[in-house]
Structure 1
Amino acid sequence: MSQNALRAADPASPEVMSKRAWWLVGLNILVPGSAQTLAGNRRFGRFAMGLSILFWILLAATIVAALVLRGQLLLVLANPIVLWALAAVLGLYGLLWVVCTLDTVRLSRLVRVRPASRAGVALLAIVALVATGGAAFAGAAFAGRAAHVLAEVGSNTIQIIGPDGKPIQVGPFTGSANVLLVGSDSGDGNPAYGERGEALNDVTILIHLSTKSQSATAVSIPRDLYVGQPACRKPDGTTVPAVQQARFNTALSRGGLSCVVAAVQQLTGLTIPYAALVQFDGVVAMSDAVGGVTVCLAAPIDDPYTGLKLPAGANTLQGQTALSFLRTRHGLSTGSDLQRISNQQVFLSALVRQITSGNTLGDPNKVLGLADAAAKNMQLSTQLGQTGTLVSMALALKSIPLERIAFVQYPPRPPTSTGRA
């Protein structure tokens, strides 16, 4: 149908007006603004068409980049500023769709269209508006939420202070790094966990990640291991003196995350540039975010202190049940912390398997849920809290085969007179 026929159609002919309406709605679906350019306000139509074409070019470029340079694209999109800009673009495009569609329906002059076509034209316009405009608004909302979560992760960080009193500095993640994961028993002030007293690092796991060897190793350090602990710096800059011998889980209460890092570095001789502090609620939130973590138990668990009862075999742990599983000792056969460490490793192994599966990493809502859980319930070291580092590590972990991820336990030893275990 020619431009003149679209602009100067005979309103007295229902047949012509019906054909014109179908064309206008179809053109609006293909390129918003084209209907206005051909049959309405040409200035607005050209403006809308220009924006639409630019949007489709950017979308095509993004799809190509996702296929060819996926890692680099994720690094760019992990920037909160980029995500806010993307949210604004998608929101404006959705608004443009609404305006163009409503104006196209007006230009169609449905009262002049054959009754048999009237409902079809209107329905096509509405379906297209909901599908495309709705997708744009949903994308804008998701990008805005992701920007907020990533900004929250970056703002809620802890500076690791070295023995020289200066913050530990590290370059960009290049494929190999040591990351310390510390679980605090403080409850972070949540009254549901009762009076907690001093904050103890009851869970201390050192993770070595290497893309060069395509492997990851997580070493759990027993909380009851007695070792000498070095002098370290509190967040306020004051120095905590060294101790000749102390139970390992007192490192956090001595001076915070930096003191746990210092204790692990002295114990292992390794440099630790990245660390994270996790609270009780973090376990609950992360297990909820992935839809539960399935573990296989060789024996049933019956803990009279917490009320946790789990049968032998496969159990999907979520929420408070997941937390109780990680904390229980009295429900285990020996009641020891070493047996609890084994449970923690079983849970973490299953969590890694769940996260690296396509069901989690392939679901943007689950990925965002994990990030949101981390933002609200974890404190990352300043270097680890950088979004580029987080994305690089996530991609590195995803590239490692599950059979090359090992969970081991630091060997417990009795205390000695020298204070070294």
Structure 2
Amino acid sequence: MTKRGWWLVLLNFLVPGSAQVLAGSRRLGRFGLGATLTLWVLAIVAGVSYLLWPAVVLTVFTSFIGLWALAIVLAFYAVVWVVLTLDTLRLVRLVRAAPGARPLIAMFATILMVVVAGTASYGAYVATSASGFLSSVFTAGPSVPPVDGRYNILLLGGDAGDDREGMRPDSISVVSIDAETGQATMIGLPRDLQWFPFSDGSPLADVYPEGYGSIDGCEVGDDPSACQLNWVYTEVELKSPEMYPNAVSEGSEPGIEGMRDAAEGITGLSIQYYVLIDMQGFSDLIDALGGVDIDVQSRVPVHSDDTFTDVAFWFEPGMQHMDGYHALWFARSRHGTSDYDRMNRQHQLQEAILAQANPTNVLAKFEAVASAGTQVVKTDIPQSMLGYFVNLSSKTKTLPINSVNLTPDNDIDPTDPDYDVIRQMIDTALAPAPTETPAE
């Protein structure tokens, strides 16, 4: 009876329902076996489909319906597993097993039940939470195709400090991703860039036909030198939101649309989507991920307050593990550094977070990540595109990220830029690598 007990518990774990078919209620056993075989078939179909059409499978499991269907299936199997395990313990007849084996058999069966049913229950919880999180962050708009084989995404790091009128994006980048290979190029746009054109058809192009602020200044000031890139958001959002009447209904903001038109005019690229990251809440996301590892290239000060003058201590060169508070200071620090140094550090932090946000880490800390993410991220990427982008990002992670920074280090003067040269730089960086022709 002791051997019988161990075998029944093990069979219940390996093939749920088989213990009942062999030694108990065959009706319950047939139900359990049917549920088990159905789960195996679903898993095999999903696995094969993922190998053949990964983007399709990921799209299904990042949709509202797909996530809720997954949650219902997992919850169902968690209940089935508990019922079958409890019934298996009844079939074991512990009172007829050896006295020393009784607690071991019961403990082993209970541990297996808790691990498997608990995992399924947690999976159901994650699926329902993910559905709410994704619906709150991503829009329900239509997906759009790549342009010239690329997806171009405007990445804004917003900072709404107490000393500012509204929010101004201090970190401005365009991430251009090859739609086939996943190769990403990050184009850094200095916040103090001037005289830039807007894209054709933009309402701002009608107001500033010769470039932003080049004629009689701009709405934020008569001094043309005040008319720099990061002021476009404030101007449009606070003073001229009527320029973009459909922005809010399409999951955006007038200020963001103004920044998009500016970035398109500067780079010559069509920008399909944007992602706005609230830098004030950025530290919560980093803490949720368990911190971030940064290779500090030179000494960076951490300030004691928001004046950016008094230094509390310094990050020394080398690998540093930072929590959210210190990572934010690393990205924002101004003492003894230039805006271009800050740009480089912000890009470095963005790349480090992308590496840190792997699926295992996100799932392990999902509740905290989801809670922080809803406060940090705003985007117009439609939920229907998530599966495609998740699949594409898996390719991106295996490749180095190229960088094009429009800074004096690359012979670009933000106060007197040559936009023909800038666009040529970008075109060169985005040009596909030449393929070698085999020798005949």
| TM exceeding 0.5 | yes
Query: Matches of 1:406 and 1:299 in 2, distance apart?
Result: 22
Give the match's secondary structure for 2:413. coil
Q: CA deviation at 1:133?
A: 1.9
1:252 aligns with one of 210, 217, 233: 233
Of residues 284-293 and 368-377 in structure 1, the stretch that sits farther from structure 2 once superposed is: 368-377
Which residue does the alignment assign to 1:82?
Answer: 66
TM-score (norm 2): 0.73
Which residue does the alignment assign to 1:267?
Answer: 266
Task: Show CA shifts across 1:106-153 (max 9, x none).
Answer: 233222333233223322321221232222222222323322322222
Query: Matches of 1:33 and 1:353 in 2, distance apart?
Result: 42
Q: CA deviation at 1:34?
A: 2.6
Which residue does the alignment assign to 1:295?
Answer: 295
From the superposition, tell whether residues 271 and 66 of structure 1 become closer, same or farther in structure 2 (CA, over 3 Å).
Answer: closer
- Aligned length in residues: 372
Bigger Rg, which one? 1
Task: Show CA shifts across 1:208-236 (max 9, x none).
Answer: 222557642222222222225658569xx
Q: Which amino acid is the alignment partner of residue 377 of structure 2?
A: M
From the superposition, tell whether residues 372 and 386 of structure 1 become closer, same or farther in structure 2 (CA, over 3 Å).
Answer: farther
Is residue 24 of structure 2 the alignment partner of residue 24 of structure 1?
Answer: no
Which residue does the alignment assign to 1:342?
Answer: 344
Q: CA deviation at 1:266?
A: 1.8
Identity %: 30
Of residues 320-329 and 310-319 in structure 1, the stretch that sits farther from structure 2 once superposed is: 310-319
Give the match's secondary structure for 2:378. strand
Q: Which amino acid is the alignment partner of residue 286 of structure 2?
A: S
Q: Which amino acid is the alignment partner of residue 298 of structure 1?
A: S
Q: How does 1:18-417 map to 2 (within 5 A)?
A: 18-66=2-50, 69-155=53-139, 170-171=144-145, 176-186=150-160, 193-210=161-178, 215-228=183-196, 230=198, 241-242=207-208, 244-245=213-214, 246-255=227-236, 256-288=255-287, 289=289, 291-301=291-301, 303=303, 305-306=307-308, 307=311, 309-314=313-318, 315-329=320-334, 331-332=335-336, 335-355=337-357, 360-365=358-363, 368=366, 373-383=372-382, 386-399=385-398, 401-402=399-400, 404-410=401-407, 411-414=412-415
Unaligned runs of 5+ residues in structure 1 are: 1-16, 160-167, 187-192
Q: Which amino acid is the alignment partner of residue 182 of structure 1?
A: L
From the superposition, tell whether residues 24 and 298 of structure 1 become closer, same or farther in structure 2 (CA, over 3 Å).
Answer: closer
- Measured on the aligned residues, the alpha-carbon RMSD in Å equals 3.4
**Given that residues 37 and 45 in structure 1 are in contact (C-alpha distance below 8 angstroms), is that contact kept between their aligned partners in structure 2?**
yes
Query: Matches of 1:212 and 1:140 in 2, distance apart?
Result: 33
**Given that residues 222 and 412 in structure 1 are in contact (C-alpha distance below 8 angstroms), is that contact kept between their aligned partners in structure 2?**
no
Which residue does the alignment assign to 2:222?
Answer: none
Query: Matches of 1:392 and 1:254 in 2, distance apart?
Result: 37
